[in-house]
Amino acid sequence: MEDGGAARPHGLTDGDGSTPGGTLKVEALKSRLASVGYIADDALAMALHLALRLGRPLLVEGEAGVGKTEVAKAFATATGARLIRLQCYEGLDAAAAIYEWNYQRQLLAIKAREDDEGADETEERIFSERYLLRRPLLEAITQDEAPVLLIDEIDRADEEFEAYLLEVLSDFQVSVPELGTIRAKSVPHVILTANRTRDLSDALRRRCLYAWVEFPDPERELAILRARVPGAGERLASQVVRFIDALRREDLEKKPGIAETLDWVAALLDLEVESLAGDPGAIRASLVCLLKTESDRAAITPEVLTRITDRAAA
C-alpha cells in the first residue's frame, strides 16, 4: 500500500508541524509524476500529496485541455496503482456506475435448472456474486490494493447521482439488497474532474480537496514538451511555447490545450519545420491542430499570426 492511504487526521495538539520531510514529500511526488511524463505545478502536486495523505477525494477543475484526466493517469502510473475510470454522462445511473445483476444470465440459469431445483435454492444461486456485474465504483472498492478511481466529468452526471456518489465517497461501502453491504477492502484514491458545465453541490466540494488547474506557463509547458516530444529541437520547442502562450491571450472561443500543443509540435516536426521564423505557409496550414472552431480561425488573421509568430521567434 502506498505511504498513507489510511493516514488519519492528526490530533489537535499535533501542531508543531516542523517535520522537515513535508516539502521533500511533495517534491518527491512531483518528480515521480515527472518521471512518467506529467509535469505538475506546485499547487497540484500539493493537492495530490494531501489527497494521498488524508485519504480524501480530490476535485480537479480547469479549462478543457489543461490535462485534468491525465493527472489521474499519471498519478496511477507513478504510484503503481491500478486506474479505474468512471466516465460520467447525463443520465448515468447506479446500474451503470455501481452494480447491476446480470439478468440475462439469471434468466438462463432459471430456465436451465427449472425442474430439478427448489425456488429457494434458485434464488440463493442467482443472487450470488457470480451473477453480479461490477461497475467501476463497486470494482474500485473491492480491490485488495488501493486503486486510483478517476471519476471523469462529474458535472455531466445528474444531481441525483452526485448525491449518491457523495454517500459512496464518505462511507466507501455499497449495499446490495440481495447480498448485504459490501465494504471497501482498501480505500481508493479518488480523483474527480469537472469542466464547469454545471455547478457542483457545496456538499461534494466540501468533501473533496480542490485544485484549479491553469494552462501551464511557458516554462512548464516547455518541460512538458521536453518530456512528451523529445524529438523536438530546443529552439523550436521554446518558440512553440511562446507562440502558444501568446495565442491563449487572444480572444478565442476555444483556447488550445496541452494536447493541441503536442499535436501541433508533432505536425511541425512532420512538416520538417525547424523554426517558426522559417515557413509561414506551413505554420498557417498546421494551425488546424490548434484552432478548432470556424470563428477562432477567422479571429487569427494572417496579420495576427505574423505578429504572434514574429514575437515567438524573436
Partner 1 sequence: MRPIAPEALTGRVAGFVAHLRLNDFALGPAESAAALALFGDIDGCDPREVRLGLKSLLAGRREEWERFDDLFEAYWQGRGCIRRRPDTPATDSRSRPPPGPWRNHLAPPPAGGSERVHPPGAHGPDDGEARGRGRVVASPRSSLARTDLRHLADPAELAEAERLAARLARAMRHRISRRYRNAPRAPRLDLRRTVRRNLGRGGEPVDLVRRRRRDRPVRVVVLLDVSGSMEQYSRFFLQFVKGLTDTWAESDAFLFHTRLVRITDALRDHDPVRAMSRLALLAQGFGGGTRIAESVRFFNTRYAKAALDSRSVVMILSDGYDTGDASAMSREMQRLRRRARRVVWLNPLLGWRGYEPVARAMAAALPFVDCFAPAHTLEALAAIEGELARL
Residues forming the site for partner 1 (CB under 8 A)? 7, 9-23, 26, 42-43, 46-47, 49-50, 53-54, 58-59, 61, 90-91, 95, 100-101, 103, 106-107, 110-111, 114, 158, 195-199, 202, 205-206, 208-212, 251, 253
* Residue closer to partner 1 (CB basis): 141 or 208: 208
* Residue closer to partner 1 (CB basis): 127 or 311: 127
Eight-state DSSP code of residue 287: G
Q: Distance (Å, rounded) from C-alpha 148 to C-alpha 83? A: 5
- For residue 6, give the 3-state DSSP assignment: coil
Smallest distance, partner 1 to C-beta of residue 197, A: 6
Helix (H) or strand (E) holding 108: helix 103-112
Give the number of C-alpha atoms closer than 13 A to the C-alpha of residue 172, restricted to the C-beta side: 18
Q: For residue 148, count CB atoms less than 10 angstroms from its CB and return exposed for 0-12, middle for 13-18, buried for 19 or more.
A: buried
Smallest distance, partner 1 to C-beta of residue 48, A: 9
* Residue closer to partner 1 (CB basis): 214 or 219: 214
* Residue closer to partner 1 (CB basis): 14 or 120: 14
Smallest distance, partner 1 to C-beta of residue 191, A: 13
Cβ pair 253, 295 in contact under 8 A? yes
* Residue closer to partner 1 (CB basis): 13 or 230: 13
Smallest distance, partner 1 to C-beta of residue 208, A: 8
Q: Distance (Å, rounded) from C-alpha 256 to C-alpha 141? A: 36
Smallest distance, partner 1 to C-beta of residue 4, A: 8
Helix (H) or strand (E) holding 62: strand 58-62
Q: Cell for 57? A: 477525494
